[in-house]
Amino acid sequence: MYKILKKRVLNAAGTAIEMVIQAPLVARKCLAGQFIIFRLDEYGERIPLTIAGFDRENGTVTIIFQPVGRSTSLLAKLEEGDEILDFAGPLGKPSEIDGLSRVAVVGGGVGCAIAYPIAKAMDEKGIEVDMIAGFKTHDFVMLEEEMGAASKNLYICTDDGSYGEKGFVTQKLKELIDSGNTYDEVVAIGPGVMMKAVSETTRPYGIKTLVSLNPIMIDGTGMCGGCRVTVGGETRFACVDGPEFDGHLVDWDELIKRGAFYRDEETESRDSSCRLLGGAENV
């Protein structure tokens, strides 16, 4: 069992929750860009979450998630001292940060929870990081202090202009590039439509663009094929070949369509209880 040592809500909207989990074996080996798969109990489904931080000395791993489906909603109800049955990892390939001098890291919404540790790892390597973080409104802003400490320049954008600059992250990225900023690489993490837009923004400039994909995933070891994505016309598996891929080669239309395939079932599962087992707490 894996104990929850700390829990905090990261924004006013309550859409982002951070938990510090006691998981020494995972903490010993994990790196920025990798993920874990958790299972709440013996009845639970396997859910992947990106590693948002780790402390090797204390044997802890930090996760940040948005309560969307049944499992993440149930996870959000747990408190400090509660335990999770399974916490497997680290899985996936870590971010490749060697040989870079200056990078733009772009995060969208809860995707900032993944973008932040990558920016931090780059900053610790002496890479100059410009970070652009996009949110719906001021209430959704999260990790501002942490992202600011991990970057030379932090630009916060909100759709309605209630905080930071009004507009989308792609507008700010294009503005920075057009004003003479040169980047060895752009890293984009967030909703599929946002990562697609960032990739299309950088394409005319020929700037290498990496995206972290989160398709439907089950086992996390490449056996089930559920997380397959088409990259450069070839089938790849996000769990073992990724999760980071060249954004200019991803078949975005296919990825976004597959990601929405079970949306109705996800909503139904979240909002209903299991009639066989008698309650959501047992699923």
| Residue 257's pLDDT band (cuts 50, 70, 90) | confident
- Give the model confidence (pLDDT) of 123-167 as tens digits: 999 999 999 999 999 999 999 999 999 999 999 999 999 999 999
pLDDT tens digits for 71-109?
A: 889 999 999 999 999 999 899 999 888 899 999 999 999
pLDDT tens digits for range 201-225: 999 999 999 999 988 888 888 888 8
Question: What's the average model confidence in pLDDT over 260-279?
Answer: 55
The per-residue pLDDT for range 161-192, each reduced to its tens digit, is 999 999 999 999 999 999 999 999 999 999 99
Q: Does the structure show a pLDDT above 90 at 120?
A: yes
* Whole-number pLDDT of residue 262: 61
pLDDT at 283: 34
Three-class secondary structure assignment of the chain: CEEEEEEEECCCCCCCEEEEEECHHHHHHCCCCCEEEEECCCCCCCEEEEEEEEECCCCEEEEEECCCCHHHHHHHHCCCCCEECEEEEEECCCCCCCCCCEEEEEEEHHHHHHHHHHHHHHHHCCCEEEEEEEECCHHHCCCHHHHHHCCCEEEEEECCCCCCEECCHHHHHHHHHHCCCCCCEEEEECCHHHHHHHHHHHHHHCCCEEEECCCCCCCCCCCCCCCEEEECCEEEEHHHHCCEEECCCECHHHHHHHHCCCHHHHHHHHHCCCCCCCCHHHC
Structural domains present in the chain: 2-91 (2.40.30.10), 102-212 (3.40.50.80)
Q: Quick one: average pLDDT of 24-33?
A: 93
The predicted model gives 233-254 an average pLDDT of 93
pLDDT at 210: 96
